[in-house]
Structure 1
Amino acid sequence: MTLSKLGQYLRGTTFSFLAASILIGCSLYPDENTDPAKNNKVTFRQDALDCAQSYPESGSGTHVKQRIGCMNLKGWH
């Protein structure tokens, strides 16, 4: 395998891994509330903004886990 083909293979593999990670990560974000009265877009948006303000974006990505935990505490699963 030449160096050029190895580089293309690594770029393709890395891109595929990142794309899969993003898709899996997005599917883990809670989108349904256990309380039927709160299970609507307006309440979801309000709770998501509240969690986003409580846990601002960090370079390491830990804010995503913190926001998901915040949404879980608000009844979103």
Structure 2
Amino acid sequence: MTLLLAMGVGACVSIPSENVDPVKNNQATYKKDLRECGEDYPETGSGAHLRQWVGCMKLKGWK
């Protein structure tokens, strides 16, 4: 049951992976920004953190 729920949440939420600024559109910046979002919004058992990470990444210019 938990596995199905996790798969469902994962399918609905995709973390942006392309930055609108070509200079920041690289893997090192992506990992840094994702790590910062993870620190700001720690993982929760319910999976709510994923939506927060997506919002955080969008604020940083990722789409």
Q: Percent identity?
A: 46
TM-score normalised by the chain length of structure 1: 0.67
Unaligned stretches of 5+ residues in structure 2: none
Unaligned stretches of 5+ residues in structure 1: 1-10
Task: Give 2:37's match in structure 1, choosing from 39, 51, 54.
Answer: 51
Aligned residue number for residue 54 of structure 2:
68
After superposing on structure 2, the runs of 4+ consecutive aligned residues of structure 1 that deviate more than 3 Å are none
Q: How does 1:1-77 map to 2 (within 5 A)?
A: 18=4, 21=8, 24-25=11-12, 28-77=14-63
Q: Which one scores higher on RCO, CA 8 angstroms, separation ≥ 6?
A: 2
**In angstroms, what is the RMSD of aligned CA positions?**
2.2
Alpha-carbon distance in 1 for matches of 2:23, 2:41: 26
Higher Cα Rg: structure 1 or 2? 1
Shift of 1:21: 2.7
TM-score normalised by the chain length of structure 2: 0.81
